[in-house]
Structure 1
């Protein structure tokens, strides 16, 4: 094998060093990510400048770039907490969160890359224990899930204040009670429902009775008014009108004028 000319060796060395330099000096940040620059000889983590945005970047080979996902992320947590009377409650929650973009350097410097495990998860667990500890099991079973979520969110926000992350929402997927407690609560709720149905039937019957009484009273009052308005002359006139109408009928009959009570006609025959 022939040896390379001595003049080419320096060129090869320069090319290799150049390739290594370029390889260590380029950073590609993907969509939904941002980079935190660490200057080895310039004061460490850069916190007073905006993070490196998506795209291709060239940095000094002795510096480092730590890439973070800055999109909204999701954590599913299942934890056991205690109710106000000391019973175990299993709580399944989902947390939506993201790092605060403009403070990504501070997050990296003060909390590190494992901020989810060190910061967010402990805060949510603590908030869950605080909120669930305010309620009895039957209250958790019947309580609106949205109100529990809101309380947990507020507690978490307080714990993560000035921690360079933001929690967008906490969703309670499930609240699991001990089987015996759950059965007892369901029996109680069933009894309460049956009681409400019985009260509804009683109230309906009472209203129907009241309606009938009002209707009967109205009819009686109408009859009183009608009786008071029917004088002897009016009745006699009505009788005469009825006699005239009957006399026009084709059926055979005999009409005796003035022989009835109070001088009213008597009609005989209805062939």
Structure 2
């Protein structure tokens, strides 16, 4: 029994003196409150549980979601839900823990985000946050955060405005405006189609007029007389009885009977 107890005690000490650092994390040893400058990669990390501990810090991309009231240029308050995608540079982890502590996300990242977001959105109208300018606002917030946090070892990968809740009256006004714009576009389409149809008819009328003009200009007296002679010959060669009155130039058929 004593041997078994001894073995169990040794195993317990071995287990308690090892920390498992998972993929996407690094470990930093803290001995009597002093941080080691070395960074441990994923795997088992040994340490003295009586004097030391291993602080685990994720270096993979972290998604931090924040609900925040944002100011607009016209002084409105916009309810928003925003995601911050960030990661930490591996070699900067000991310095971050030393300068900021383990609660770096609340102490540093979220405070910088709130300041940057308020500064950026205050330059835009509320409707801009609900339009195609949203990506521009996101990029400006990201750039401001990156400028402040990059020297500290943080990489701000993206800032995403997932949800924007505009005041009710403003939402209705935007909906009315969009509806009016759609109706105006529809009317412009109808008018453009009518203009095209009118242009088609005008071109068609001009073509008919030009054809008649050309035909009228080509019907000179000599041509009319020639066509009359040709018609007279066809009548003369016909076996049917006819009464033809002519002035010697143009024949006029006034009666025709089939015999």
TM-score, normalised on structure 2?
Answer: 0.82
2:199 alignment partner, SS class? helix
Alpha carbons 2:18, 2:44 under 8 Å: kept = yes
What is the CA–CA distance in structure 2 between the aligned matches of 1:161 and 1:203, rounded to whole Å? 54
Residue of structure 2 equivalent to 1:32: 24
1:220 aligns with 2:212: no
Alpha-carbon distance change, 233 to 121 in structure 1, aligned in 2, over 3 angstroms = same
What is the CA–CA distance in structure 1 between the aligned matches of 2:197 and 2:25, rounded to whole Å? 70
After superposition, give the CA deviation of every residue in 1:70-129 in whole Å (9 maximum; x if it has no partner).
221212212111111111111111121222122111121112221111122222222221
Residue of structure 2 equivalent to 1:266: 253
What is the CA–CA distance in structure 2 between the aligned matches of 1:236 and 1:242, rounded to whole Å? 10
What is the CA–CA distance in structure 2 between the aligned matches of 1:25 and 1:145, rounded to whole Å? 50
What is the CA–CA distance in structure 2 between the aligned matches of 1:124 and 1:203, rounded to whole Å? 49
Match of 1:108 among 93, 97, 102: 97
Where do 5+ consecutive residues of structure 2 fail to align? none
What is the CA–CA distance in structure 1 between the aligned matches of 2:233 and 2:36, rounded to whole Å? 117
Residue of structure 2 equivalent to 1:210: 199
After superposition, give the CA deviation of every residue in 1:45-68 in whole Å (9 maximum; x if it has no partner).
123x3x211112323453321112
- Alignment: residue pair count: 257
Alpha-carbon distance change, 82 to 249 in structure 1, aligned in 2, over 3 angstroms = farther
Match of 2:35 among 32, 41, 45: 45
Shift of 1:191: 2.3
Residue of structure 2 equivalent to 1:89: 78
Where do 5+ consecutive residues of structure 1 fail to align? none
2:150 alignment partner, SS class? coil
The structure that is strand-richer by fraction is 2
Alpha-carbon distance change, 71 to 261 in structure 1, aligned in 2, over 3 angstroms = farther
TM-score, normalised on structure 1?
Answer: 0.79
